[in-house]
Amino acid sequence: MSSDSAHPTNQVAKSKRAKSGIAKWPEDERPRERLLSRGSHALTDAELLAILLRVGVTGKSAVELGRELIKHFGSVQAMTSAPLAAWDDIKGVGKAKRAQLLAALELGRRASLPATREKISIKSTHQATDYFSARLRGLPDEHFRVAYLNRQGRLLDDALIAEGTVDIVRPPIRTIIARALQTNASALIAAHNHPSGAAEPSESDKTLTRDLMSACAPLGIKILDHLIVSESGVFSFADAGLLDEL
């Protein structure tokens, strides 16, 4: 006797899944088949999520579960910036499904980044803003990054120096300097994000920038800018004249 026949509740659950499952839909309505025949642009956000989820839960298809996820977070974009704890206890999304979704969302974010570092040059605030916005906007926590450049503005290295809250986890000046010497950088641009705040520098941000300039000056390393990235915009120490004041 099979385990299913021994447990009538299992048969009921399977029956419910069969009625609501996407496999029972007409083939031209199934998300996976529509994606392969018409392209990913033809699918809604919920349908794309359904392909990643693969299956739904009892009485609910993967598409319906995808709609619930969008309703829970507000949008796909909000899903990319949600903290890991926000995914806890979502019915129908266990560890495996959560990992698949988070991996796909991160791949989508990385796909917007420049493909080859060796071809990147940063010679203006506008270029620096574009570069760091792609890396820092939408992250749930504060990240402090430094781009190391040669004399021609070519990117030599891009390092994540600190993660958490910059006011608490102070980016170590020694680490920033050591990496600059390792890469033989002539200049650098620092940047960090304010996930839930405005793109305005705090006193801690100003102090850090001043200390970094003081440490780099004797070594002939120029601080070109310190950018603060938020959802509302980007603040540039250089454009605001703060580098001269500090």
- Mean pLDDT of residues grouped by 10 in the chain (246 residues)? 49 48 75 88 89 87 91 87 84 89 85 65 94 89 94 93 72 94 96 89 93 96 96 94 91
Are 162 and 95 part of one and the same domain?
no
Are 123 and 100 part of one and the same domain?
no
Amino acid at 103: A
The residue from 94, 111, 128 where one domain ends is 111
Query: Is residue 122 within 8 Å of 189, Cβ to Cβ?
Result: yes
Are 228 and 141 part of one and the same domain?
yes
Q: Nearest to residue 120, comparing CAs of 145, 146, 147?
A: 147
State the total domains in the chain: 2
Parallel, antiparallel, or unpaired for β 222-230 and 187-193? parallel
121: three-class secondary structure by DSSP: strand
Which residues sit opposite 237 in a β-bridge?
Answer: none
The residue from 77, 111, 145 where one domain ends is 111
CB-CB neighbours of 237 under 10 Å: 25
Domain membership of residue 226 as a residue range:
117-245
Are 61 and 131 part of one and the same domain?
no
pLDDT for res 201: 93
Are 121 and 107 part of one and the same domain?
no
Token digits of residue 213:
């300039």
Are 63 and 125 part of one and the same domain?
no
Amino acid at 53: L
Rounded Cα distance, 91 and 137, in Å: 29
Are 125 and 229 part of one and the same domain?
yes
Are 213 and 180 part of one and the same domain?
yes
Query: Is residue 65 within 8 Å of 50, Cβ to Cβ?
Result: yes
The residue from 76, 111, 146 where one domain ends is 111
At residue 242, what are phi and psi to the nearest 5 degrees? -75, -25
Distances 184 to 45, 142, 151, 180 between C-alpha atoms, Å: 45, 27, 10, 6
pLDDT for res 177: 96
Are 189 and 149 part of one and the same domain?
yes
Are 194 and 167 part of one and the same domain?
yes
pLDDT for res 18: 46
Are 181 and 223 part of one and the same domain?
yes
Give the ranges where 84-166 is alpha helix by DSSP (H).
95-111, 125-136
CATH number at residue 218: 3.40.140.10
Residue 4: enclosing H or E segment and its boundaries? Answer: helix 3-6
74's CB contacts (< 8 A; 6+ apart) are none
Are 107 and 156 part of one and the same domain?
no
Rounded Cα distance, 24 and 243, in Å: 64
Parallel, antiparallel, or unpaired for β 187-193 and 233-236? unpaired
